[in-house]
Structure 1
């Protein structure tokens, strides 16, 4: 019986069936923010550039810890040393070095983002690269979107069946999860050099959109 069942099932999917795509969307407020910022220093001597960078970077880390940011939420994203040249009369002349130390800072309270910027700039940070809004646990929202996608697929199939006067079955013969996606709001900062002094910037969070898509096959 099992050897014959699958071919019969495939034939059933090919004839007397309705195939639809369902989509479900859920929006949620972000509960986690990842800030990418850092320290850039320049000096004619590479050791001086490194020393100054280390001093300012350590001051930034110390200030972050003082306002409650843990070690686990401060990661080095990149550390770079760039030679600087002056091009004149067809000749490149080494003029100094630029050192960058970039951090990813995980902020678990979105209301503290502005204060994080203010604290780091006051302590020596002078580069802002990115700000990312995230959900600590996206799964419950995706499951809700998936439920809505299945419901949407069934509603579409019912409309088609009723329009054509077909006796559609309620339970799908086949259902396939096609894709999942989360749309994150754009970052208000990107590749920006921060001023040496600053007040806390007003960071406005935007909703995150979670989308699920399924394909369902119903018989009639």
Structure 2
């Protein structure tokens, strides 16, 4: 039976974010289906008009989800029994925009969203656009880390290492992003958000690779 040794290597990367993603949520509700849909359409129009002020075009404002659901409430009657009462329709719309990291532009957009008649709820994500090069760097570091660990182990154990038998990697998705904050639709502090001078920290990520070598 061939003798083998498995060593796990870890690669780490850190880089400043160069992309800002703003995820916006709209919600419209009414007892009447068509009125709820009209409200949703008007909210979208208002939000788009707000973003047009900052140079965004219609195709830049992407929709990730659009749902309309019925709403019910459990109400207790005089006999102590609960009945489901129809409350209306709720239309939920989630969209996002993205732009190169620019704190001045970022602050102006936040101020506009905070005062927008559509009353969007929004969250901010800092991201890195060129993720491919970072992933490659991370994997190279993981392999080198495994080799260095193997050298130490082999010297300490007094064994000679042969060829690589296999490399195990799970190919799980790594996201180079970080959510900075989340603004509630009814928040009273939204107008003050734009005045915050945010300097995002580097985005860090790590990954592991298992390398199997033969022992001579």
Bucket of the pairwise TM-score, normalised by the shorter protein: 0.7 to 0.9
Q: Which residue of 2 aligns with 1:40?
A: 27
After the TM superposition, which parts of structure 1 deviate over 4 Å for at least 4 consecutive aligned residues?
183-186, 188-191
2:207 corresponds to 1:214 = no
Instruction: Say if 1:37 and 1:127, in contact at 8 Å, map to a contact too.
Output: yes
Q: Using the TM superposition, give the Cα deviation of residue 159 of structure 1 relative to its aligned residue in structure 2, in angstroms.
A: 0.8
2:89 corresponds to 1:97 = yes
Q: Which residue of 22, 32, 38 maps to 1:51?
A: 38
Q: Which residue of 1 aligns with 2:167?
A: 176
Q: Which residue of 1 aligns with 2:49?
A: 62
Q: Which residue of 2 aligns with 1:122?
A: 115
Deviations for 1:76-127, whole angstroms, at most 9, x for unmatched residues? 1222333344534244443443332221222332534443333223223434
Q: Using the TM superposition, give the Cα deviation of residue 65 of structure 1 relative to its aligned residue in structure 2, in angstroms.
A: 2.3
CA RMSD of aligned residues (A): 3.1
After superposition, the Cα gap between the structure-2 partners of 1:126 and 1:218, relative to the gap in structure 1 and judged at 3 Å, is farther
Q: Using the TM superposition, give the Cα deviation of residue 188 of structure 1 relative to its aligned residue in structure 2, in angstroms.
A: 4.3
**Helix, strand or coil at the partner of 2:179:** coil
After superposition, the Cα gap between the structure-2 partners of 1:144 and 1:188, relative to the gap in structure 1 and judged at 3 Å, is closer
After superposition, the Cα gap between the structure-2 partners of 1:173 and 1:125, relative to the gap in structure 1 and judged at 3 Å, is same
Q: Which residue of 1 aligns with 2:149?
A: 156
**Helix, strand or coil at the partner of 2:17:** coil
2:67 corresponds to 1:80 = yes
Q: Which residue of 5, 8, 12 maps to 1:25?
A: 12
In 2, Cα distance between the equivalents of 1:191 and 1:123? Answer: 13
Q: Larger C-alpha radius of gyration, 1 or 2?
A: 1
Q: Using the TM superposition, give the Cα deviation of residue 35 of structure 1 relative to its aligned residue in structure 2, in angstroms.
A: 2.4
Q: Using the TM superposition, give the Cα deviation of residue 22 of structure 1 relative to its aligned residue in structure 2, in angstroms.
A: 1.4
Instruction: Say if 1:39 and 1:124, in contact at 8 Å, map to a contact too.
Output: no
After superposition, the Cα gap between the structure-2 partners of 1:153 and 1:92, relative to the gap in structure 1 and judged at 3 Å, is closer
